[in-house]
Structure 1
């Protein structure tokens, strides 16, 4: 029987990461609710096994990220959760200033705990950690497309070194050979690291079995920090699971279909290309036209209106890294990103107002802007489309009284046919 109060409270640093995490918890049988930001009503109880608070704190100032994360922590504590999970990207997106390190330290202090772990491993999506080095598929993180990320370029795959640059707390390593020896060996290594003064341990994991045994060793740890992968190993620690298949049920889908894409990741570029080459109808948003005052939002909605009845439409600002850099050089990194996010979120609302009820959004920053513009406050987590990406059901003032199905896709996630596959699942 499901518990009446949540046992796991999660703080995610972006919106796609939040649904990614919630997806893994639901697959493990935990009834999971995702909130957009910290709920305004601190006293309102949540009927779920797990709560994921989605923040948009990955690329803001470290001080603001800490403040928002602590606010989320206090709300989750009011809900009575037993464990806190700080979720970041599976490619450890951050800069030498943060925000993973500063938020981790602030949560540790607030919880009164002197030790936690850090691992972005998510083997189902090709993210593995070996000897403290993060791999994206067969490549080191530093050799992957993440080295060109416009906001958080990742040029070092050594996570101990990356995290140590962001924190005053000593960072150590719990290596693969310890994981292979099982739960008791992991717990013994935790004790050993703490005796050496280590406060944060980067943990190796190359398979789902590694995450399952790690999950058991994390029972009772006040704070866990990780990508979404560790979430597959946590539900086994609580006897609160819903019946098989019951945790991911959503209302039936209806209405028109659209995709809004702001991510410039390698994976999303491939998805946009396949959709277009397959005959999909698409409209490209030009950041320079936005900067010049052109009504690109109006143009996009006028273009989409007569086409929605004919099938899925795609509105995208996705581009290769060289093109992104050229725009950033002309407009500035912050201004270029904000303009595109604002335009895409306005377009998303306009599409919903014109009958779209099945919406895919690609990119973490874009997803955050879209769900906020749609006025979404809470999301019911449904079935997985690809590892880390579920469908969700939400309510929005843009379509009052109706269910809107939304999929928030991290830029790096999904197969090349993700856009068409997503809608086929709801058919």
Structure 2
């Protein structure tokens, strides 16, 4: 079947990091929406033909004012593409600080989209992703059976999450009133949730954390949000959005929504995340496969770390054997590096080093990349001059295969640090090797 005749895309999305963008795009493809992801805001005003467009920014940890400016630029481009509803995507662990950036960006987007100047503007904030163990109950975010602030996220080097109560967390980031859509309302269905929206608006609430403990809850919330100009959250709440467009007669099923071209060439894995999941994935790979660790302190001393990594990679590339190059470290090791270099400089050094290595691998024939870590993924795709991605089938929850557009595509799997099974790297490479139209 073909998409009903219309001008422009249906859903316009703004993601605050690159892996989060592919996570969201993956969810939309699973719902039958043909989805294109751009890396940053496209300079061209040429139309991009898709049901959903996802603009991937690198705005999660930059100053709030810069994040707002970039997000508004993305919104402007998406509106020019004809999008009818908008989605602001952030991490399922609500990664942010008391200074932002979730609250300030949400405020700015609501203002821009509200015909009344924002006086009655309203949206939800729901980072729940039950398939990956992120659930919200009474406004508190759980990672598995553990509260967010006891999950290891309290040790995050850039956005330590030390409060599981998302109403409090978001309220510290905004002067707008923050409320809660409680689970007992969600459990009663779409009509009851919409009644909650109305009641919260009447109380002056502008943003409401929404409880969700199952995919069924996310479908309820998604349908309840059909008339909202803006929705914010993790990728999970997007589960219910394709159905809204289908019920409105604007979207048909697409059997080819997840199809990607076959990509020939060599493969490599790059990891910059220090998350628990990525550390386990690195350990699993090292047990049986070649791996080279980047030392940020050596790079800071001016040692030729990039050249050493590429020299390590060359014989494996000659043999057609994938290898891992990583900067992943334990929390204590990360703190030691940060104490010597500074938090920002340490992160930038790891990203720029892995980006340079990615470029060197590309020049040596690598065309299939698995990348672990949101900030690392952003640095790598920028180094490879990636502009747009077609989104394919899911590899693991929250992580799809992707391919760049153009005559000579690259195959990419961009993984958020905390996503994926222990054997994710092997699984992703098998998936990229087998991707075909």
* TM-score range normalised by the length of the shorter chain: over 0.9
After superposition, where does 1:76-225 map in structure 2 within 5 Å?
76-112=78-114, 113=118, 114-225=121-232
Which residue does 1:316 correspond to in 2? 326
2:415 is matched with which residue: 409, 415, 423? 409
Secondary structure of residue in 2 paired with 1:390:
strand
Which residue does 2:73 correspond to in 1? 71
Which residue does 1:293 correspond to in 2? 302
Query: Matches of 1:54 and 1:182 in 2, distance apart?
Result: 32
1:384 is the counterpart of 2:394: yes
Query: Matches of 2:382 and 2:252 in 1, distance apart?
Result: 30
2:42 is matched with which residue: 39, 42, 45? 39
CA contact (8 A) 1:142 1:156 kept: yes
TM-score normalised per structure 1: 0.97
Which residue does 1:61 correspond to in 2? 63
TM-score normalised per structure 2: 0.95
Deviations 1:298-353 (A, max 9, x none): 11011101112242200000001000000000011111111110010010111111
After superposition, where does 1:338-417 map in structure 2 within 5 Å?
338-395=348-405, 401-417=407-423
1:261 is the counterpart of 2:271: yes
1:325 is the counterpart of 2:325: no
Q: CA offset at residue 241 of structure 1?
A: 4.0
Q: Cα RMSD (Å) of the superposition?
A: 1.1
Gaps of 5+ in 1: none
Q: CA offset at residue 243 of structure 1?
A: 3.9
Which residue does 2:26 correspond to in 1? 23
Query: Matches of 1:125 and 1:362 in 2, distance apart?
Result: 16
Secondary structure of residue in 2 paired with 1:200:
strand
Query: Matches of 1:120 and 1:262 in 2, distance apart?
Result: 23
Deviations 1:29-75 (A, max 9, x none): 00000000000012x11110000000000000000000000000111
Secondary structure of residue in 1 paired with 2:309:
helix
Q: CA offset at residue 424 of structure 1?
A: 1.7
4+ runs deviating over 6 angstroms? none
